[in-house]
Amino acid sequence: MNFCGVFPILATPFNADGSLDLESFDRLVRFNAGLGVDGVTVLGVLGESNRMLDREREALIAQAVAAAGGRTRVIVGASHPGTEATIGLCRMAQELGADAVMVAPSAEPVPNEGRVFDYFQKIAAAGLLPIVAQDHPASTQVHMSLPLLLRLVAEIPAIACIKEEGVPTPVRVAALKQGMGERRVPVLTGLGALYGYFDLLVGADGFNTGFAFPEVLLAINRAAQAGDHAESFRLYAKYLPLLVFEQQPGVAVRKELLRMRGLLRTPHVRHPGAAIAESAAAQLRDVVARVLPGVDITRAIVP
């Protein structure tokens, strides 16, 4: 599997009563596949993975694989504080037909990079799917040093990609790209693409993040990989108000925007997550109208 390109993190749709909305989820996967994304990631942090029952995870993975229909790859978030539990989630993803898993370490009472390395090594030793190693200190409270990340790449063949979300991301992306030895893997940027242009400028190989307009991420990345950084910056600057507004804490804004696009039936956020405030929803409508005046956002837009 090639991990260069755009791999959107998908929201998990719920009905108004909090139950899974697999119909909207199917529509969301098919929409992304139709845009030509290189893969989708389900059950990420902003996919509310920590609010899922095991049987719900199974249903979501199966639906994603079916909806992708081989047109795009499916990466499954499989992080868990327990190593054996993580391996179990990886095995579930493999058995249901996923192409890769995304794994992040969990915080320990006493920080220990050796234990973090052992965590990834034991998961890899299970011989399951390729691993996207996620470096996202904001959610994990684990700060993986650059030497540790480079060691993961050099010594664990199952590590097929690094998702770099430790700020300052441009500095870390550049250091990872420069520090890799004989074995090299793609480095993808996340954090809602807030620093995406700058990460791509120093060598990031694409996006692995959520944004309600993945076609914009495709266009920004396509320009950057072609060396047209002026066009990449133009697109980034044009959509920056939406990127910033969507990246407020939680997932409520993104879900409301996906509802506005006709992809989700409701913007319900599973408890204890909060729904979008009406004042924020009004601001969101204003931002969309300013950035995309007169554009029908229920269709794939032309950035």
Q: Which long-range contacts (CB under 8 A, 24 or more apart) does 193-199 make?
A: 193/217, 193/220, 193/236, 193/243, 194/243, 194/244, 194/247, 195/167, 195/168, 195/169, 195/170, 196/220, 196/236, 196/243, 197/224, 197/232, 197/233, 197/236, 198/169, 198/170, 199/164, 199/169, 199/170, 199/173
Residue 203 buriedness (CB in 10 A; 0-12 / 13-18 / 19+): middle
In the block, tokens 């095995």 appear at: 91
Dihedral sign of CA atoms 29, 34, 40, 45 in order: negative
In the block, tokens 């899974």 appear at: 20
Specify the fold of 5-291: TIM Barrel (3.20.20)
| Chain segment 209-236, per-residue pLDDT in tens | 999 999 999 999 999 999 999 999 999 9
d(CA 5, CA 187): 10
What is the predicted pLDDT for the residue at 111? 85
pTM comes to: 0.97
Q: Which residues of the chain have pLDDT under 70?
A: none
Triad 262, 241, 39: Cα angle to 5°: 55
What is the predicted pLDDT for the residue at 45? 85
d(CA 152, CA 48): 27
Report which secondary-structure segment, H or E, holds 5. strand 5-6
Dihedral sign of CA atoms 254, 259, 264, 270 in order: positive
What is the predicted pLDDT for the residue at 108? 87
| Chain segment 11-48, per-residue pLDDT in tens | 999 999 999 999 999 999 999 999 999 999 999 988 99
Question: Could you tell me which residues come within 8 angstroms of residue 266 by beta carbon, excluding any fewer than 6 positions away?
Answer: 13, 14, 15, 16, 21, 259
* Residues composing the chain: 303
The region that residue 301 occupies, defined by phi over 0 for left and psi between -120 and 50 for alpha, beta otherwise, is beta
d(CA 43, CA 104): 12
